[in-house]
Amino acid sequence: MIADFNAYSYLLQHDIKPSVQRLAIVNYLYEHRTHPTADEIYEGLLDEIPTLSKTTVYNTLNLFQQQAAVLALTIDDKNVRFDIDTSDHAHFKCLNCGKVFDVPAVLNSVTSVTLEQGFLVTEKHLYLKGYCSSCNNLSK
């Protein structure tokens, strides 16, 4: 990921015009690597920006996704979660606590197989579900 994160530069690199709200949302995503939902981001920023609306958060996240500045994760049946780490990696969701973790993975092998068959890959997602180490240890 980015060593010295600069939200302003990050937005410009993705052709997004910086604004107070956009800077706050991208900083929140950088500082909270918990794969938050739009509602969690809204709640997390409301004290800092009392005039922030849920619509602004949703529209901003849609823009970030369109500009490849974030990944939208549909690992959860109820909520879309957002990840600022756009590198190739998988996600693991604990069925007990509901936390979503990053998992290192090589997704290029699947892409090369589909390309050989003439498909055009525009997105790659690998979702794993089970029990995280904390929850798995509780059942023992």
pLDDT tens column, 79-138: 999 999 998 889 999 999 999 999 987 666 666 666 667 777 777 788 999 999 999 876
**Same domain assignment for residues 48 and 79:** yes
Q: What distance in Å separates the CA atoms of residue 135 and residue 6, rounded to the nearest whole number?
A: 35
Q: What distance in Å separates the CA atoms of residue 75 and residue 86, rounded to the nearest whole number?
A: 16
**Same domain assignment for residues 95 and 74:** no
* Domain membership of residue 95 as a residue range: 90-138
Output the CA torsion sign for 119, 125, 127, 132. Answer: positive
**Same domain assignment for residues 28 and 79:** yes
Give the pTM.
Answer: 0.85
pLDDT at 60: 98
In a domain, 79, yes or no: yes
Domain count, the chain: 2
Which of the listed residues 83, 108, 130 is the one where a domain comes to its end?
83
